[in-house]
């Protein structure tokens, strides 16, 4: 299958900093809890992981938002914690509290027992879902695959679940940095296998979710999060079946480190950086826009607003990006974080349509 | 009382960017939950607010860490939510869940009913505690007073307690920005009265805690948080009894906006900016070090580390600040956030002593 045959290739073009007629948009967590049809399916299936591990259901959930909104990309419905689950940590979900592991790790001895999972066995349901979704999409829009970053996966694996202060995982980092690196090493290798399996099954672009890199200090971000993401990017297929596979790196709370994210070998450099909403996309473009595309960055809470204020918020991101004519290609619109469960679908539709129409005007006049 | 008579005025001197022999250090939340003697007193008193509202107990808690550590400043033991409590919202604390308000506000009508509390009545316990502590300190080290920022207070007042996504308060901002401004206006006026009352009672320096300004986007930070903090600074006593009263502005997660924090009239400009641990203090010094002092910025989690790694972390903040010789005055050492409850007092002692000895060496050799 070739991207050349994609009916809508705006998303891929923007990631490769090629001209587009409208700014492409997709939304982190576009499939999931804000959609009534998702809630119905999930109630039927029982729990969250039953949806992820069943390729047919994962495919259905992936397609749900595409029936409502004019999105420019689909993203595999799955979870970043599939890798540690397949490593034997025992993932389960506690209602209202998020993910938990039955067997968190806290010592070098425990870490040394972890191995890269077999993508043809424990994790086979992931590439299976990817290939099913890819067939169902039928080259209308591209499919995004993803992984959590090694640091982000490690936070859950050491904390045993979500954390307020990251005291256990940072405790390990400050008590035994070598153990921390051993954990990140095996996770980076697992992420490489995982993303390659997704590419081989049909993923046409990738995102690395570094949800918790932003809780590190500047030196530690480089050493404990970014270095491993660069290693992953250098280790995965650059092209597949003649098509470039662009990679988006998204460190939430990491906008102060954008320059370091692109300061690496060409092989390790992401094609795009995701931005949360706390940074100016114009400033980001000035800093790194000659080297990478940018994705973002509307505050997800603007979707709670009146139609007028929501449209203002969406337009102001686009206006910011197009403020200067320099490096004017390479913007993918997104929220600065996943969409909240309480958002009304009509607001999402208004956002998608506003982004398309306002950007078409900006691009026409530029 | 005059600062000239302070036995240790390093903290004030550093805030005013005057030479010091050692870098002064204090620690956010230095009085409180990490100290066994605090836990004992709190168990006796019953609840948290009984300590805050009793000037004698608030004084005792303020002094507790000074008996253990060689700190360069004391800070009033209190809470940022005293103002909304005095406005009638009904503050109470739910164990393990933090502060809650019985009567949160969500409409313009409710907001219009709020008035600046009387500092000689509802909030009299705060200046009373300040003057008691000031007497007890007997001019050994200076006393810091504080307030929450209007935006930060507003988040609790609208959410009704701590929040994950700030969906209610940002919902109000995106639904009815005028109501949001009305709320911030009355809060800014209350903060001015509150800080002036603390100055008049003996506070020798002030900190504005903008704990949640960092959850806003760039434009909204300026409009909904920073503008009101500038208003407060311009509205409070610059000097009292012949002594300059320096003000520290601390927006957690706001390091990307440092330049905007000092880009204002002289009257509105803080004397120092607080930094959390996610930013390089060397970079911050290059950006704003000619205009303000800097406070920070070790990761609080380094206190979970081995002695060696904790010392490395403390020294690396100092080394970073002294990396360039430009604007070399004006550093107050602190954590990038409040100390965690689980930290062992011996680690804090090691930190304080390391900061003093290592900085004395750096300053001597500079």
Summarize pLDDT for A288-297 with one digit per residue, the tens.
999 999 999 9
Instruction: Look at B214 and A255 and tell me if their CB atoms are within 8 Å.
Output: no
Longest dimension (CA), chain A: 61
Q: Is the pLDDT of residue A2 over 70?
A: no
B140 touches chain A (CB under 8 A): no
Q: In the 8-state DSSP scheme, what is residue B338?
A: P
Among residues B297, B363, B304, B282, the alpha carbon closest in space to that of B335 is found at B297
The tokens 């990017």 sit on which residue? A233
Q: How confident is the model at residue B4 (pLDDT cuts 50, 70, 90)?
A: low
Which residues touch B96 (CB under 8 Å, ≥6 apart)? none
Partner A contacted by B279 (CB < 8 A): yes
pLDDT at A4: 54
ipTM: 0.94
**Which residues of A are catalytically annotated?**
29, 33, 42, 79, 156
Global pTM reads 0.96
Residue that has been written with the tokens 């982004």 in this structure: A355
- Residue B104: the pLDDT is 97
Convert the pLDDT of each residue in B94-106 to its tens digit.
877 889 999 999 9
> Considering only alpha carbons, which residue of chain B is nearest residue A220?
B278
Catalytic residue check, B33: yes
Compute the distance between CA of residue B186 and CA of residue A115 in angstroms, rounded to an integer: 58
pLDDT for residue B60: 98
Compute the distance between CA of residue A333 and CA of residue A11 in angstroms, rounded to an integer: 9
SS (H, E, C) B112-152: HCCCCCCCCCCCCHHHHHHHHHHHHHCCCCCEEEEEECHHH
Contacts of B191 (CB under 8 A, 6+ apart): B83, B147, B148, B149, B150, B153, B208, B232
Reduced to 3 states (helix: H, G, I; strand: E, B; else coil), residue A13 is: helix
B214 interfacial to chain A (CB closer than 8 Å): yes
**Confidence at B140, pLDDT banded by 50, 70, 90:** very high
Half-sphere exposure of residue B91: CA atoms within 13 angstroms, side-chain side? 21
Note if B29 is an active site residue.
yes
**Smallest Cβ distance to B170: which of A253, A279, A299?**
A299
Q: Taking CB atoms and an 8 Å limit, are B215 and A278 in contact across chains?
A: yes
Residue A240's DSSP bridge partners are A243
Query: CA-CA-CA-CA torsion for A316, A322, A327, A331, nearest 10 degrees?
Result: 50
Q: Is the peptide bond before A157 cis (omega within 30 degrees of 0)?
A: no
Q: Dihedral, CA atoms, A52, A53, A54, A58, nearest 10 degrees?
A: 20
CA dihedral sign of residues A58, A59, A62, A65: negative
Across A212-237, b (16+ Cβ under 10 Å) vs e yields: bbbbbbbebbbbbbbbbbbbbbebbb
- Residues B194-235 have pLDDT tens digits of 999 999 999 999 999 999 999 999 999 999 999 999 999 999
């Amino acid at each position: 299958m070739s991207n050349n045959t994609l009916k809508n290739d705006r998303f891929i073009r923007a990631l490769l900093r090629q001209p587009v007629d409208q700014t492409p948009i997709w939304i982190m967590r576009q499939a999931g809890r804000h959609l009534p049809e998702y809630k119905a399916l999930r109630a039927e299936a029982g729990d969250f992981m039953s949806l992820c591990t069943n390729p047919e259901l994962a495919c259905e959930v992936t397609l749900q938002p595409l029936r409502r909104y004019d999105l420019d990309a689909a993203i595999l419905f799955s979870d970043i914690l599939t890798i540690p689950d397949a490593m034997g940590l025992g993932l389960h979900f506690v209602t209202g509290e998020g993910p938990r592991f039955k067997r968190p790790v806290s010592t070098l001895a425990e870490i040394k027992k972890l191995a890269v999972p077999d993508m043809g066995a424990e994790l086979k349901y992931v590439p299976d879902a990817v290939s099913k979704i890819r067939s169902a999409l039928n080259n209308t829009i591209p499919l995004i695959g993803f992984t959590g970053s090694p640091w982000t996966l490690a936070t859950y694996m050491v904390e045993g679940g979500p954390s307020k202060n990251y005291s256990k995982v940072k405790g390990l980092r400050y008590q035994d940095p070598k153990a921390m690196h051993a954990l990140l090493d095996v996770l980076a290798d697992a992420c490489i296998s995982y993303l390659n399996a997704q590419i081989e099954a049909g993923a046409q672009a990738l995102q690395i979710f570094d949800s918790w890199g932003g809780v590190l200090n500047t030196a530690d971000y480089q050493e404990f999060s970014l270095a491993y993401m660069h290693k992953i990017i250098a280790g995965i297929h650059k092209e597949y079946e003649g098509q470039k596979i662009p990679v988006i790196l998204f460190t939430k709370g990491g906008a102060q480190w954008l320059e370091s994210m692109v300061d690496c070998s060409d092989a390790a450099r992401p094609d795009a950086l995701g931005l949360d909403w706390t940074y100016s996309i114009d400033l980001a473009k000035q800093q790194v826009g000659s080297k990478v595309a940018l994705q973002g960055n509307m505050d997800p809470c603007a979707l709670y607003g009146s139609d007028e204020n929501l449209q203002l918020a969406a337009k102001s991101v686009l206006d910011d990006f197009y403020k200067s004519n320099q490096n004017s290609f390479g913007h993918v619109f997104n929220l600065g974080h996943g969409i909240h469960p309480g958002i009304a679908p009509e607001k999402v539709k208004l956002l998608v349509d506003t982004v398309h129409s306002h950007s078409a005007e900006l691009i026409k006049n530029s």
